[in-house]
Amino acid sequence: MNSLVLLVSVVLTQAGGADELGPLLRRAHQGPTLAEVQRVIPQPASQLEAIALDTKRFGIERMRAVDLLGEIKAASAVPALDSLARTGDLASLKRHSLEALARIDVARAHAAAVAMLSATDVHVRAAAVTLLGAHPSAAGQRAMERLMATEADPVVKKAANRSQR
Amino acid sequence: MPSPDAFNCGTNGQFCISCQAGMTCNAGICGASQNMMSGGNCQSGDLKLAEMTTANATSVVSMGQLQASASVQFAGQAAFETPTVGVCVPNDAVSLVVSPGVGMNSVVSWHLAGALGQKVDRSTATSWLTWSSPGVMVPKSPTLTVSPGHHELRFATTAQNGVINPSLGVRRGTRATMSKITINVVFVAGSGLSQNDVTTLFEGSAVFDQVLSQAGIEVTQVGAGSINDGSLTVINDSELTRLSQATIESLADAPMVDGAVNLYFLQEVRSADAAGTLLGQAMSVPGMPKAPAREGVVLSVDAHRAGGVIQSTAVWTTLAHELAHWLGLRHTSERTGTIHDLIDDTPQCLASRDTNRDGLIAENECLGFGSDNLMFWTYDFSNPHTQVTAGQAFVLSSALTVEPK
């Protein structure tokens, strides 16, 4: 958790212009496309990362920022996404971060997913199971088998069944 | 204008001002009286809503199973349409909602008798969306009101021989200047709401009350319940039927209110298309109580958290906008500035105001042209838009689930 706090302060110091994106990201009905964001800030990775990490911002802004980081495959945001996937303060943010991470760095996403198989939120566990199913590996398979030996939640079981097809 | 011959006419189909005994003059046409509460130009074989529903109340009537087999074009695309169903709308109808039932590929077309007397224009997606998708409600404005008498409804789907189970919601009685509505708050297991959150949740509900009060509507009763199925706390908007079919356990201290609008609190609602995470969504526009997948509003709880705390004003801003959709209001102007609602007194923001040419009419481009209206196509809950026009208030106070106070 301390590393996440440090990451936040570093990123917030580096990223200006994040305030301009806030209203766009919390827009009702539909979030902005990447093109809309880039019209405001052509290279938005650091600003999006700052928003994603800023716990004072609305969850909707952070989730959409994370989605966009995945879309632009922002390699610089991998440590932040990894931290958010593991220790993010919102269950939704953990799921979104895991999905975004998988678009940028599969190995890192894989490791985070294995760790998140023990998450308390069933949908985070299910997202981790889905990710491991989409990117199969021996380590992932072993972790899944350990989980499924004791997993009782139908949401996670369904995700596991789906990913094994 | 009716010809002099039409006075005291006695034949079906002639213009009239009055008719012989046993017939009534409705919208200028003599017709056999179904009963005192039926429109005069109704036809034998019509579904007689006056007999199927309760006076001074809202009722939902099933129209039975209809098979879509006739080829038809919708916005240039092939579809299949059911036979026409005749419906006799009573004289005391305040509002009428047509729901094509479960299945987003079901669409509705209809012919309105009486004052409107026109078929829905379905030649383009834009013209069709303006009128009907995905459900239909009248009144749409103070000038496009429900007319009593004969109506014809047809339903279409993209599936040949597809079976549609449409329903009709009818509110009978009077529209009042002071009205009431009841709501149920429904918490889905896994939404992450703590006891503290629930306490905080209602602190910012003033914005919701303020919006409704502009239409003379007051929330007079709030029920509460929970859904103990964690699989439903993260769902796509294409799965809302599952939510509305889930068992709700009523809270002992605030039992669920029958027929009220349900406000569902989930961890996250995701759009099945590119829109991603949604702040909230009306389950139908307009909605219909007790109709599967159309009975309320859903809200993403995590989207409304900041600093670890549920942001109550933001929550109720989203709920106010989505509830207004559910009660029948459309956006004053849609995102491109080319589609607008049918209400005369709502400001329109035209595409010509898209000064930065990004294809969207933004809030700052529509200042003075509707961006401060509750139903502008987008809103920022950090700066809630709460303006409701008289025309919008008319529609809101006519909605199915609103009752005279």
Segment B161-165 shows an average pLDDT of 86
* Contacts B314 to A, Cβ<8 Å: 58
Selection from B339, B268, B334, B325 nearest residue B297 by Cα = B325
Identify which of B230, B268, B279 has the shortest CB distance to residue A155: B230
- The confidence score (pLDDT) of residue B214 equals 96
* Contacts B378 to A, Cβ<8 Å: 27-30
Segment B247-263 shows an average pLDDT of 93
A40-99 pLDDT, tens digit each: 999 999 999 999 999 999 999 999 999 999 999 999 999 999 999 999 999 999 999 999
Nearest Cα residue in chain A from B310: A58
- The confidence score (pLDDT) of residue B114 equals 41
- β-pair type (B234-236, B268-270): parallel
Bridge partners, B403 (sequence order): B180
- Backbone torsions φ then ψ of A66, nearest 5 degrees: -60, -45
pLDDT at A18 over 90: no
| B70 in Cβ contact with B86 (< 8 Å) | no
Selection from A40, A37, A48 nearest residue A14 by Cα = A48
The CA distance from B58 to A26, in Å, is 36
∠ CA B261-B219-B223, rounded to 5°: 55
Question: Is B121 touching A (CB cutoff 8 A)?
Answer: no
Segment B152-163 shows an average pLDDT of 83
Closest-CA distance of chain A to residue B321, Å: 10
The CA distance from A59 to A52, in Å, is 9
- With H, G, I as helix, E, B as strand and everything else as coil, classify residue B57: coil
pLDDT at B168 over 70: yes
B29-69 pLDDT, tens digit each: 445 444 434 445 788 899 999 999 999 999 999 888 999 89
In this structure, of A7-16, A48-57, B227-236, B335-344, the range with the lowest mean pLDDT score is: A7-16
Confidence category of residue B125, pLDDT binned at 50, 70, 90 = low
- With H, G, I as helix, E, B as strand and everything else as coil, classify residue B186: strand
* Contacts B271 to A, Cβ<8 Å: 30
The CA distance from B101 to B84, in Å, is 16
Selection from A102, A68, A94, A163 nearest residue B234 by Cα = A94
Segment B387-403 shows an average pLDDT of 95
Segment B117-134 shows an average pLDDT of 59
Closest-CA distance of chain A to residue B234, Å: 7
CB contact under 8 A, B268 and A39: no
Q: Answer whether the bond into residue B286 is a cis peptide, omega within 30°.
A: yes
In this structure, of A101-110, B131-140, B256-265, the range with the lowest mean pLDDT score is: B131-140
Give the ipTM: 0.90
- The confidence score (pLDDT) of residue B379 equals 83
Segment B192-209 shows an average pLDDT of 90
pLDDT at B25 over 50: no
Confidence category of residue B300, pLDDT binned at 50, 70, 90 = very high
How high does pLDDT run on average in chain A? 89
pLDDT at B16 over 70: no
Closest-CA distance of chain A to residue B236, Å: 13
- The confidence score (pLDDT) of residue A20 equals 83
* Contacts A90 to B, Cβ<8 Å: 192, 302, 305
CB contact under 8 A, A122 and B304: no
The CA distance from B202 to B394, in Å, is 27
Question: Is B306 touching A (CB cutoff 8 A)?
Answer: yes
Segment B98-107 shows an average pLDDT of 63
Identify which of A33, A58, A95 has the shortest CB distance to residue B303: A58
| B108 in Cβ contact with B100 (< 8 Å) | yes
- With H, G, I as helix, E, B as strand and everything else as coil, classify residue B190: coil
- The confidence score (pLDDT) of residue B292 equals 63
Confidence category of residue B11, pLDDT binned at 50, 70, 90 = very low
Identify which of B267, B305, B378 has the shortest CB distance to residue A28: B378
Q: Which amino acid is at B65?
A: Q
pLDDT at A158 over 90: yes
pLDDT at B210 over 50: yes
In this structure, of A52-56, B12-16, B258-262, the range with the lowest mean pLDDT score is: B12-16
Q: What percent of chain B has pLDDT over 70?
A: 80
- The confidence score (pLDDT) of residue B240 equals 87
> Can you state the angle between helices A154-164 and A122-134, rounded to 10 degrees?
10
- The confidence score (pLDDT) of residue A159 equals 93
Question: Is B219 touching A (CB cutoff 8 A)?
Answer: no
Confidence category of residue B127, pLDDT binned at 50, 70, 90 = low
- The confidence score (pLDDT) of residue B148 equals 86
- The confidence score (pLDDT) of residue B284 equals 85
Question: Which tokens belong to B374?
Answer: 């509750």
pLDDT at B393 over 50: yes
pLDDT at A8 over 60: no
Find where tokens 């002639």 sit.
B14
| B381 in Cβ contact with B300 (< 8 Å) | no
CB contact under 8 A, B306 and A59: yes
Q: Which residues, including other chains, have CB under 8 Å from residue B364's CB and lie 6 or more apart?
A: B371
Confidence category of residue B102, pLDDT binned at 50, 70, 90 = low
- The confidence score (pLDDT) of residue B171 equals 95
Closest-CA distance of chain A to residue B401, Å: 24
The CA distance from A113 to B229, in Å, is 24
Closest-CA distance of chain A to residue B378, Å: 5
| B106 in Cβ contact with B164 (< 8 Å) | yes
Decide which of A10 and A111 is more confident: A111
pLDDT at B368 over 50: yes
Chain A positions touching chain B (beta carbons under 8 Å)? 22-23, 26-31, 33, 36, 39, 55-60, 63-64, 67, 89-93, 95-96, 121-123, 153-155, 158
* Contacts A122 to B, Cβ<8 Å: 190, 230-231
Q: Which amino acid is at B26?
A: N
- Spell out a b/e string for A126-150, using b for 16 or more CB atoms within 10 Å of the CB, else e: bbbbbbbbeeeeeebeebbeebeee
Which of B194, B229, B268, B318 is best to mutate for the A interface (most A CBs within 10 A)?
B268
pLDDT at B377 over 60: yes
- The confidence score (pLDDT) of residue B293 equals 63
- The confidence score (pLDDT) of residue B388 equals 97
- The confidence score (pLDDT) of residue B32 equals 47
Question: Which tokens belong to A23?
Answer: 């209203």
pLDDT at B119 over 80: no
pLDDT at B103 over 70: no
pLDDT at B115 over 50: no
Decide which of B104 and A150 is more confident: A150
Segment B12-19 shows an average pLDDT of 44
pLDDT at B9 over 80: no
The CA distance from B246 to B367, in Å, is 42
